[in-house]
Amino acid sequence: MWSECRACKRPLRSEEARRLGYGRDCARKRGLTPPKPRRTRAAPRPKPVFVPPAADALPGQTAIDLVFHQPTLESL
Ligand SMILES: [Zn+2]
């Protein structure tokens, strides 16, 4: 058992590190422990949902497709 890292002399705190004789980073550098898992890209944000125009929409109101965050004359 080791009380300090054999490479950088920092005190070892975890049981695994004391057994290896190396701290987490030094053990990783020497290939004693698997490399840090790589961060994966976050899931893309969902696209706005298309809202079909109301059945009673007046001509011209549907010229531009409405999405949920767009105000209508009734919502103002
Ligand atoms: Zn070390």
Q: Which residues contact 8 (CB under 8 A, 6 or more apart)?
A: 23, 26
Integer CA distances (angstroms), 27 to 4, 7, 15, 38, 67, in order = 13, 9, 13, 18, 53
User: Could you report the per-residue pLDDT of 12-59, keeping only the tens digit for each?
Assistant: 999 999 999 999 999 999 999 888 888 888 888 888 888 777 888 777
Q: What is the pTM of this model?
A: 0.47
Between the CA of 16 and the centroid of ligand 1 the distance, in Å, is 13
Between the CA of 36 and the centroid of ligand 1 the distance, in Å, is 16
| Residues forming a β-bridge with 50 | 67
